Structure 1
């Protein structure tokens, strides 16, 4: 075969290989999209905290897997490679089409006065898609993140007060469900100031069941089950600002600010009472009707700052406070919440083509969170230490791993201490999905 013949042969082979790769990438994108839809239909991960009986349940961090690895910072920590769901202003840095999903496994150990136990749960926790509309000037995102999780099962027994004879009562209280945020975020670059807004549609339901038994020496035993189903759906907003001070082409100081106004979360509550036999079989159910309910979400302000050397390292912190004392509902009091997070990331050698581990990004951080809920006249404190890594995969995509060790509550004053471990496995796909090829 002539030289020209060999050249034509190899050009044909290379072109065929490129076409096969493009078809494979397209197929993988469709598969990942299908998996994402499937995950939505299955379930979101639920925290099994015993304290999730309070308010709307355990409140979940509204960041992505990469944020978890950095101690949950993100208000003032923009990134090109991942979706920022904590400050919509930072979305303007997403010049790629970015798809993220992640699963979380949560294991908890409970200790208290004459109490000990453990539980575990897991499932989909993170799902988002961001894309530039006007690269460098306007980017948008869609994300689904669980706002709160309810998953508890408690048992109580004791004498009924203000009775003439000895009357004892036992109750088994269960709760499950939670609320989910469907988020549409937009970030704009206006004269080197980043401005963002995200519209949040909150929906979901919380089901609480109390199975009780009342009886005494002169009183026959009565068994029953009281059920309450709370369903919510409403829209609220968050606004964000960002600014980047440039020291050089690779050194920056970033600032971020978020504000969420007080808003009402409207819903309905359906009540029912079921009479049970001594064996636990249902005998008859009485629907007690439904009523409109309202839960006030607090005003939230947050500030974040980070210093970075592009592709090398980043370190920053977030401060966030929510005015829960003027929120909630008419029957429950809450504390103002406060959260401080500190974290950073480091890449040994981003341009190293021979060492996979030197191109990986490693992260660590910690967070302190004073929760709004009050138990036995005492505020709950959640403290966590986080670690993470983003492993490079196929160009600008990555496999994101994170681990958190945390402690919630304490064993004094009749409280229960929860020691928990969270493992997060996520995937980030960066590509230019909406660019039409000029050459084939």
Structure 2
């Protein structure tokens, strides 16, 4: 049964990798796309908090977590901590609502692939995950119901990271992630022309642009844990990513096209180069996150986290427009978990981890003087698989949320996300007790 579950999880996640469309949000038109959540399904199921740190789950939100818990602590009690591997994918269904109507879209995406290796007081982590995603289809329609402009976009930025953590003391650890960001964003815009009688003309003009993005940035982390009683453990975390630069290599073309009135297929008649800076720089804003939580590691935990990002410093000279600006972004997250009986010999669901949480965020994007906010509620299960001594698990999560507003003819997104991951553990550095 367990092997079948693992095969099913890998198959579903692999399918999302090869058929992925990272987002269908119209708000991915702005900036360099919609920012993807950097964290595991376990984090997302608890409202997005990353303050809980243990030795059996990869934590992508804080590089200090690569060290894991002290070797002498629960659940390993003097045994070697495991090497941790995790992979995840998400399927989303979104209802787009405006003053003029609504429509539904869906997408699937690969979320992350990561490995964490604790060695003594050190810890190492590396992996791959999306950073931003672009995937929009927008039509600008006039009062007569005619299309004035059509906008399309796809692509995004991915992140490869290599991280290091070090246990400064029994209670305090520190770490740093080195990230290489890469990807491309492709945008097209068609300006429709009509005859005085209101008939669409034979040829239209399409502008195509492409930006190839790359750059480095770092993320620093601290994690503090201490016992406040025989059972209760207090955790506190902090992460900081300083401002960084992405290099953008740009190209733009202008094409005369003919559009089929039956299939809307576009046929290119001729093309010429457009006017655009061939190379530019994009400023990625700094980010600070602080978290704290308390609980019994064997039974329950509750924590909160606040993140502030200087998004007002964001700039992208190639993709700027007249109706959007950026302000500083922020997010508050609250969540936790409960385990009925982690050491139960009978009753599988007594060992299941039950997670829940919520978050509220100002995304930093402002359109027509309206701040784009987001709210989400999440639930999840951590299902034990394999050997009890290694604490591997399959994680499922469900998120319900809302982004944006219908004010000023904007679009409100109501989304449901289904998250699935595998968190697998293995001991590589276990010492023999007997010869």
TM-score, structure 1 as length reference: 0.85
Give the C-alpha shift of residue 38 in structure 1: 6.5
2:125–2:162: 8 Å Cα contact kept in structure 1?
A: yes
Q: SS of the counterpart of 2:44?
A: helix
**Match status 1:126 vs 2:107:** no
* Aligned partner of 2:18 among 35, 42, 51: 42
Q: Distance in 1 between matches of 2:383 and 2:90?
A: 17
Show the counterpart of 2:222: 241
Label 1:45 to 1:92 Cα distance change in 2 as closer, same or farther (>3 A).
farther
Distance in 2 between the 1:365 and 1:328 partners? Answer: 33
- Say if 2:337 is the partner of 1:380: no
Q: CA deviation at 1:365?
A: 0.2
Q: Could you say if the C-alpha distance between residues 232 and 437 of structure 1 is closer, same or farther in structure 2, counting changes exceeding 3 Å? A: farther
Name the residue aligned to 1:195: 174
| Deviation (angstroms), 1:122 | 0.8
Distance between the aligned counterparts of 2:418 and 2:55, measured in 1?
A: 24
Offset at 1:264?
0.8
Q: Is the 8 A contact 1:102 1:125 kept in 2?
A: yes
Written as runs of structure 1 = structure 2, the 5 A alignment for 1:284-363 is 284-288=270-274, 291-330=278-317, 331=320, 333-363=325-355
Counterpart for residue 63 of structure 2 = 88
**Greater helix proportion:** 1
Which residues of structure 1 form unaligned runs of 5+? 1-23, 160-167
Match of residue 38, structure 2, among 48, 62, 83? 62
Larger displacement relative to structure 2 (34-43 or 87-96): 34-43
Change in CA separation of 1:194 and 1:356 when aligned onto 2, cut-off 3 Å: same
Structure 1 residue 262 displacement after superposition: 0.7
**Shift of residue 284 of structure 1?**
1.4
- Matched positions, count: 403
Once residues 217 and 36 of structure 1 are traced to their aligned partners in structure 2, the CA distance between those partners, rounded to angstroms, is: 53
CA displacement at 1:217 relative to structure 2: 2.5
Q: Is the 8 A contact 1:43 1:124 kept in 2?
A: no
Query: d(CA) in 2 for partners of 1:226 and 1:113?
Result: 28
Aligned counterpart, 1:409: 404
Cα contact 2:193–2:204 (8 A) shared by 1: yes
Q: Give a deviation string over 1:256-281, Cα, whole Å, max 9, x none.
A: 00111111111211111111135432
Query: Which consecutive unaligned segments of at least 5 residues does structure 2 have?
Result: 70-80, 261-265
Q: What is the CA distance between 1:184 and its match in structure 2?
A: 1.2
Within the alignment, does 1:252 sit opposite 2:230 as a pair? no
Residue pair 2:295, 2:301 contacting (<8 A) in 1 also: yes
Rounded to whole Å, the distance in 1 between the matches of 2:201 and 2:403 is: 41
Task: Kindly provide the CA deviation profile for residues 109-148 of structure 1, in whole angstroms up to 9, marking residues without a partner as x.
Answer: 01111121000011321211111122xx111111211111
Over 3 Å counting, the alpha-carbon distance change for 1:246 and 1:45 in structure 2 is farther
Could you report, residue by residue, the CA deviation over 1:383-411 in whole angstroms, capped at 9, with x for unpaired residues? Answer: 00000110111121101010000001122
Take 2:16 and 2:427, find their aligned partners in 1: how far apart are those partners?
A: 25
Could you tell me whether the CA contact under 8 Å between 1:307 and 1:314 is conserved in 2? yes
Give 1:81-230 correspondences, 5 Å limit. 81-93=56-68, 95-134=81-120, 137-158=121-142, 170-191=148-169, 192-217=171-196, 222-230=203-211
Aligned counterparts of 2:153 and 2:404: Cα–Cα separation in 1: 19
Max radius of gyration: which structure?
A: 1
Please give the root-mean-square deviation of Cα atoms over the aligned residues, in Å.
Answer: 2.8
Partner of 1:232: 213
Shift of 1:56: 1.1
CA contact (8 A) 2:188 2:208 kept: yes
Tell me which residue corresponds to 2:395.
400
User: Contact 2:16/2:108 (CA < 8 Å) preserved in 1?
Assistant: no
**Residues 250, 185 of structure 1: alpha-carbon distance in 2 compared, 3 angstrom cutoff:** farther
Given the alignment, which residue of 364, 373, 381 partners 1:389? Answer: 381
**Given the superposition, is the C-alpha separation of residues 169 and 394 from structure 1 closer, same or farther in structure 2, using an over 3 Å criterion?**
closer
Deviations 1:297-323 (A, max 9, x none): 111111000102021001001100001
